[in-house]
C-alpha cells in the first residue's frame, strides 16, 4: 500500500500577495532553491519559505519547513516516512508513540525576538532580550570538554555547589556507565 502523499510547496510573496506554489524540481531531480512551478514555467521568488502539505485525520496540514531547499526536501521525505509508518502501525492494530523533542531555547528566543521586531513591537523585543539574557546567564547547560567530547571530558555546572557557577568534573564512572547503557539501548 502506498503511504500518504506529502507535497512540498514554496510559499512566496508575489505582487498579488502571498501564494503557495509547488516547489520547482530541476533536471537533476533536486529542488531548485527559491523557484516555484507556476503553470508550465519555473519562476524565481526572493521572499518565502517551504511548506509540506499532507492529510492528517482527514484534514489538510501545512507544515513550515524553512527556507533551505535541501532541508525542506529532507523534511518532506521524513514526514512521508513517519506518516507511512503510522498507517502501517494502524493497519497492524498498534500505535507509534513519538516522544516530544527537545527545544533549543536560544533558537526559540531568537525566533520570538525576530517575530516581535517584524510586528513592530521593538519595546517587547528589548524587554524579552533583557529577560532571556539574564535567565541564560543563570542557567547553564552541560558543557563538553575541549578534546573529543567523550564522557571523560564532560563538565557539568551546578549552581548549588559552594563555588556558584563553577564547572566541576562529573562522576566519570557513572557518566560512562550511563552512556554505555544508552548506546546499547
Beta-carbon-side half-sphere exposure of residue 32 (alpha carbons within 13 Å): 17
Give me the pLDDT at residue 98, please: 73
> Do 79 and 154 fall into the same domain?
no
The one-character DSSP state at 66 is E
Bridge partners of 60, per DSSP, are 55
In a domain, 2, yes or no: no
Choice between 164 and 77, residue whose per-residue pLDDT is larger: 77
Residue 144: give the domain boundaries: 140-185
In a domain, 41, yes or no: yes
Q: How high does pLDDT run on average in the chain?
A: 78
Query: Based on the domain organization, do 184 and 153 belong to the same domain?
Result: yes
Least confident of 22-26, 29-33, 92-96: 92-96
Q: Is the predicted pLDDT of residue 9 greater than 80, yes or no?
A: yes
Whether 43 and 77 share a structural domain: yes
pLDDT band at 2 (very low <50, low <70, confident <90, very high): low
The rounded distance, in Å, linking the Cα atoms of 185 and 180 is 9
Residues 155 and 128 both lie in one domain: no
What's the pTM value of the predicted model, to 2 decimals?
A: 0.54
Q: Do 32 and 64 sit in the same domain of this protein?
A: yes
118 and 144 fall within a common domain: no
Would you say residue 149 lies in a domain?
A: yes
In Å, what is the CA distance from 70 to each residue of 33, 63, 180? Answer: 8, 16, 33
The domain total for the chain is 3
Residue 141 confidence (pLDDT): 53
> 92, 126, 154 — which closes off a domain?
92
In this structure, are 40 and 115 located in the same domain?
Answer: no
Cite the beta strand spans of 39-178 per DSSP E.
41-44, 48-56, 59-66, 155-157, 167-169
Verify that 119 and 154 share a domain, yes or no. no
The mean pLDDT of 35-50, rounded to a whole number, is 94
Amino acid at each position: 500500500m502506498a503511504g500518504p502523499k506529502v507535497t512540498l510547496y514554496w510559499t512566496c510573496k508575489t505582487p498579488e500577495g502571498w501564494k503557495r506554489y509547488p516547489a520547482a524540481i530541476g533536471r537533476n531531480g533536486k529542488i531548485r532553491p527559491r523557484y516555484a512551478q507556476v503553470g508550465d514555467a519555473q519562476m524565481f521568488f526572493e521572499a518565502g519559505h517551504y511548506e509540506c502539505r499532507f492529510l492528517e485525520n482527514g484534514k489538510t496540514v501545512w507544515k513550515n519547513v524553512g527556507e533551505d531547499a535541501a532541508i525542506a526536501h529532507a523534511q518532506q521525505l521524513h514526514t512521508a516516512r513517519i506518516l507511512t509508518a503510522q498507517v502501517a502501525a494502524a493497519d497492524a492494530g498498534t500505535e507509534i508513540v513519538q516522544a516530544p523533542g527537545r527545544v533549543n531555547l536560544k533558537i526559540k528566543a531568537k525566533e520570538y525576538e525576530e517575530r516581535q521586531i517584524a510586528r513592530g513591537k521593538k519595546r517587547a523585543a528589548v524587554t524579552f532580550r533583557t529577560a532571556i539574557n539574564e535567565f541564560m546567564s543563570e542557567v547553564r547547560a552541560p558543557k563538553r570538554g575541549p578534546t573529543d567530547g567523550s564522557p571523560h571530558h564532560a563538565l557539568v555546572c551546578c549552581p548549588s555547589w559552594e563555588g556558584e557557577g563553577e564547572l566541576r568534573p562529573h562522576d566519570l564512572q557513572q557518566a560512562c556507565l550511563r552512556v554505555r547503557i544508552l548506546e546499547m539501548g
